[in-house]
Structure 1
């Protein structure tokens, strides 16, 4: 399924395992489900994830990590 999906990092961790790496379909429709890339748990809808990304990271170190991980997907 990795060929049909895109991984990205959220500043909010997965409630199941604590990972910040998330997975969404390549299409990125607002109502697409975002799942944890590590444990596969449902986290939120893509439009909700976009809202979290727009708010920005909580710290400078989070900002640097997100910039490095998400640069290929934007």
Structure 2
């Protein structure tokens, strides 16, 4: 069965391990759950991820990191 998820970097860290890499469904339904790549902890819903990406990162450095990590991903 093919993997139907993708990884993103978001500004909000995982509450368990602090990683900012999350796994999201390629379908991008607003009510899809988003999980930490490192430890598998539930982080938030995809609607929250979309809002974070739309608002942008808190600093220029954070924005550059997200652009590099999420290249090829539409906002």
TM-score by length of 1: 0.91
Bigger relative CO (Cα 8 Å, ≥ 6 apart): 1
Quote the residue 2:36 is aligned against: 36
Q: Which runs of 5+ in 1 are unaligned?
A: none
Q: How many residues align?
A: 74
CA RMSD across the alignment: 1.5
Higher helix share: 1
Q: Which runs of 5+ in 2 are unaligned?
A: none
Does the aligned pair in 2 maintain the 1:6–1:73 contact within 8 Å? no
Distance 1:43 1:12 in 2: 8
TM-score by length of 2: 0.90
Q: Closer, same or farther in 2 for the Cα pair 1:2/1:64, shift >3 Å?
A: farther
How far is 1:15 from its partner?
0.8
Distance 2:52 2:25 in 1: 18
